[in-house]
Amino acid sequence: MIAKQSLLDFDRQQLADVCQSIDVPTSHANTIYGKVFRYGQLDVENTVNVPKKLLAWLDENTEIHLPEIISQQQSEDNTQKLLLRMDDKRDVESVIIPGAGRITQCISSQVGCAIGCEFCLTATGGLTRNLTTAEMMSEVFIAHRVLGEYPRNLVLMGMGEPLHNYEHVAKFVRMVTDERGMAFSPRRVTISTAGLVPAIYRMLEDDLPCSLAISLNATTNEVRNQIMPINLKYPLESLLKAMQDYVAVRNRKRILVEYVLLAGINDSEEDAKRLVDLVKPLNSTVNVLPFNPFPGSKYQRPSDEVVDMFSKHLNDAGLVAVIRRSKGREISAACGQLKTEVNERAVQLLAKRSAKA
Ligand code: SF4
116: left (phi over 0), alpha (psi -120 to 50) or beta: left
Q: Shortest CA distance to 162 belongs to which of 210, 103, 224?
A: 210
Cβ of 120 below 6 Å from ligand 1: yes
Q: Ligand 1: distance of its center to the CA of 197 in Å? A: 15
Q: Quick check: CB of 160 below 6 Å from ligand 1? A: yes
Helix (H, G, I), strand (E, B) or coil at 236: helix
Q: Does position 351 have pLDDT exceeding 70, yes or no?
A: no
Contacts of 339 (CB under 8 A, 6+ apart): 93, 121, 122, 124, 125, 159, 332, 346
For residue 335 and ligand 1, the question of a CB distance below 6 A is answered with no
pLDDT in tens, 264-294: 999 999 999 999 999 999 989 999 999 988 8
Q: What does pTM read for this prediction?
A: 0.92
- Quickly count: other Cβ atoms within 10 Å of residue 252's Cβ: 9
CA 130 to ligand 1 center in whole angstroms: 14
The alpha carbon of 158 and the centre of ligand 1 are apart by a number of angstroms equal to 8
| Ligand 1 pocket, residue 217 CB under 6 Å | no
In angstroms, what is the span from residue 123 Cα to ligand 1's centroid?
A: 6
As a whole number of angstroms, the distance between CA 280 and CA 327 comes to 27
pLDDT number for residue 356: 46
Residue 258 Cα to ligand 1 midpoint, Å, equals: 12
Question: Which of 109, 115, 339 has most ligand 1 atoms within 8 Å of CB, for mutation?
Answer: 115
5: three-class secondary structure by DSSP: strand
| CA-proximal residue: ligand 1, atom 6 (nearest) | 120
d(CA 352, CA 297): 11
Look at strands 68-74 and 80-85 and give their pairing: antiparallel
According to the model, what pLDDT value does residue 252 have?
66
* pLDDT at site 124: 86
Distance CA 214, CA 289 (A): 13
Tell me the pLDDT band of 348, cut-offs 50, 70 and 90.
Answer: very low
Under the banding of pLDDT at 50, 70 and 90, the label for residue 355 is very low
Tell me, using a 6 A CB cutoff, whether residue 123 lines ligand 1.
yes
Closest-lying ligand 1 atom to the alpha carbon of residue 194: 3
- Could you tell me the sign of the dihedral formed by the alpha carbons of 335, 83, 38, 26, in that order? positive
For residues 314 and 231, give the distance between their C-alpha atoms in angstroms, rounded to a whole number: 23
Q: Catalytic residue, from 19, 63, 93, 149: name it.
A: 93
User: Nearest Cα to 276, choosing from 242, 251, 311, 244?
Assistant: 311
Nearest to 260 by CA among 127, 117, 124, 93: 117
Q: Which of 323, 326, 215, 308 is nearest to 269 (CA)?
A: 308
Q: Which residue, 157, 231, 165, is CA-closest to 195?
A: 231
Q: Do residues 178 and 145 lie in contact, with contact meaning Cβ atoms separated by under 8 Å?
A: no
Helix axes 304-316, 269-279, angle to 10 degrees: 40
Return the DSSP state at 118.
Answer: T
Q: 77: pLDDT confidence band, cut at 50, 70 and 90?
A: confident
User: What does the pLDDT look like over 6-39, one tens digit per residue?
Assistant: 999 999 999 999 999 999 999 999 999 999 999 9
Ligand 1 midpoint to CA 41 (Å): 33
Note whether 215 and 224 are within 8 A (CB). no
Instruction: Give the pLDDT of residue 307.
Output: 96
Domains and CATH numbers, the chain: 5-63 (1.10.150.530), 68-356 (3.20.20.70)
Closest ligand 1 atom to the C-alpha of 158?
7
What's residue 283's pLDDT? 86
Please report, to the nearest 10 degrees, the dihedral formed by the alpha carbons of residues 327, 330, 336, 340 taken in order. -130
Lowest mean pLDDT across 24-33, 105-114, 249-258: 249-258
Instruction: Put residue 160 in one of left, alpha, beta given phi > 0 → left and psi -120 to 50 → alpha.
Output: left
215, 193 Cβ separation under 8 angstroms? yes
Nearest to 182 by CA among 218, 161, 153: 153
Cα(357)–Cα(354) distance, integer angstroms:
5
For 124-182, what is each residue's pLDDT tens digit? 889 999 999 999 999 999 999 999 999 999 999 999 999 999 999 999 999 999 999 99
Question: What is the model's pLDDT at position 353?
Answer: 43
Active-site residue, from 113, 117, 210, 335? 335
* One-letter identity of residue 180: R
| Residues 258 and 310 sit within 8 Å (Cβ to Cβ) | no
Q: How far apart are the first and last CA of the chain?
A: 53
Highest mean pLDDT among 72-76, 101-105, 134-138: 134-138
Ligand 1 atom closest to 113 (CA): 8
Dist CA 27 CA 12 (whole Å): 10
The stretch 74-98 carries a mean pLDDT of 93
Distance 194 CA to ligand 1 centre (A): 7
335 among known catalytic residues: yes
3-state secondary structure of 211: strand
36 lines ligand 1 (CB under 6 A): no
List pLDDT tens digits, range 281-329: 998 999 999 998 888 888 999 999 999 999 999 999 999 999 987 655 5
Residue 228 alpha carbon, nearest atom of ligand 1: 4
Give yes or no for residue 337 having a pLDDT over 70.
Answer: no
Ligand 1 pocket, 122 CB below 6 A?
yes
Structure confidence at residue 134 (pLDDT):
98
161 pocket-lining for ligand 1 (C-beta < 6 Å)? yes
What pLDDT, on the 0 to 100 scale, is given for residue 266? 98
Residue 354: pLDDT over 60: no
113 ligand 1 Cβ < 6 A: yes
Question: How would residue 332 be classed by pLDDT, with cut points 50, 70 and 90?
Answer: low
CB distance 112 to ligand 1 below 6 Å: no
Q: Please check whether residue 248 is in contact with residue 204, taking contact to mean a CB–CB distance below 8 angstroms.
A: no
